[in-house]
Structure 1
Amino acid sequence: MAVVSMGHGRLSREPGILRIDLPGGAGEDTLEHIDWDAWFSKFDESSLAFLYQQEKSDGEDSTLFKLVSR
């Protein structure tokens, strides 16, 4: 789990914008990893839900997901 970096490789006291950093994803230089407890605390505090697509219309596995307001 990750949040958008606040700069200089240091995370501010409170997590900012939540992201999910998948292996090989584009967030390597812009995200900072945080632990699950901090991530879910921010997730709940922000009243978010996890929206995902299990498979594409052709039956292939999908990687489509996003965090949305509840």
Structure 2
Amino acid sequence: MSPAHYTEDTLVQQTTADYLQQQLGWESVFAFNQEDFGPDSLLGRLSDHEVVLTRPLRAALERLNPGLPEPAY
């Protein structure tokens, strides 16, 4: 790889996404310039200021803790 190809994306972001996918089975989404915002958007964020992806977080909480009352989620 030439020095011109050493970028934050190739050295950090892609490497980390590949590791998380291959080693831990995580899903990686490259959403740069692709996300529109709203509850039905790609990542379910209302704005780019939201850093916690609440839609998949809630789904995981419900899956890992079935039967809890609604306010607990």
Q: If the length of structure 2 is used for normalisation, what is the TM-score?
A: 0.26
TM-score with structure 1 setting the length: 0.26
Where is the strand percentage greater, Structure 1 or Structure 2? Answer: 1
- Name which one, 1 or 2, has greater alpha-carbon Rg: 2
* Structure ranking higher in helix proportion: 2
